[in-house]
Amino acid sequence: MTISHIVRGRRLFAKHGVTADNGRFAATDKPTMQVDVITSALIVAAEQAGAAIMNIYRNEATETTIKADGSPLTQADMAAHRIIAEHLQRFDWPVLSEESAELPFATRQQQHTYFLVDPLDGTKEFIHRTDEFTVNIALIENGVAVRGVVFAPALDLIYVGGQGIGAWKKADGNAWQAIQVSNRVPSASSPLRVVGSRRHGAEKLAAMLTDVPHELDNRGSALKICQVAEGSADFYPRLGPTSEWDTAAGQAIVEAAGGHLTDMHLQPLRYNQKDSLLNPNFLVLNQSYAQWISRLKLA
């Protein structure tokens, strides 16, 4: 069964607001997004995982261990993973998560539709208490991210997007707002608004932007992708290591907002295509990127 079968058969429409099967989303006076049962489930799973993360975040005595790859792991990562996996088990699709056991490619390549999850993206931001960590949940179909939710629980900020539903943002419990990428072309009077990683690739980024008027903001987690999606940034280049669960949800959102998430050859990222789950370096681009990307030093 594919996403299209479920969406066609069980769509929950909201002409004047968002509705969901659990009643969490109240009607508003303004037209907002249409929520199908899958998107509703992703939102609720992200919010419940976020609530568990915040319960731990408020505890100063957060316990941290180091994984085999040298990255940190907290109680919050595992608690969020368990909640998401439990909430999504009503669907027939498997959940591939950063905190689940790694499956060999021979097994994974049989999974054409699955959930791809980072239960706590930005663990270092969590540890350093910057508030810039997120819950990322995506639905992948035939290598393409077709739905995505990115929730920043400490900021009470959630982004949703995907094929057929557009891209949306809700902040501080307010109504959903449609979002779209910018069409800015950089100039001396209108610099390119670049968002970068606080912890990776600063020297490479500076070299890339030598010939482009720009202003730089550093952020953590998938919030950087979402800044491009909402139009508050124009460009996010990632010149350091990431995994597929770091980008899938954000890619669904930014593409639904009219933007692009590509490799360095401007080809869209695709998922579950190879043995490794590592991404190449990538670019998140606004609508008008074709008019300015030649000015970057991509080599």
Indicate the annotated binding residues for substrate.
98, 120-123, 246
271 CB neighbour count, 10 Å cutoff: 23
What letter represents residue 299's amino acid? A
Helix runs in the chain, H state only: 3-9, 37-57, 75-88, 105-108, 123-127, 202-208, 223-230, 244-256
With contact defined as beta carbons under 8 Å apart, do 13 and 28 qualify? no
Buried (b) or exposed (e) across 51-84, using 16+ Cβ within 10 A?
ebbeebbeeeeeeeeeeeeeeebbbbbbbbbebb
Q: Which tokens belong to 143?
A: 């290598």
Binding positions for Mg(2+): 98, 118, 120-121, 246
- Binding-site residues, in ranges, read 98, 118, 120-123, 246
- Residue 104: how many CB atoms within 10 A of its CB? 8
**Per-residue b/e over 209-222, b at no fewer than 16 CB within 10 Å?**
beebebebeebbbb
Which residue type occupies 214? Answer: H
CA pair distance 122, 133, nearest whole angstrom:
5
Rg (CA), the chain: 18
| H or E, element range at 276 | none
Q: Which residue has the tokens 């720009």?
A: 214
**At 22, which amino acid appears?**
N
Three-state secondary structure call for residue 81? helix
Report the alpha-carbon distance of residue 194 to residue 208 in Å, rounded.
Answer: 11
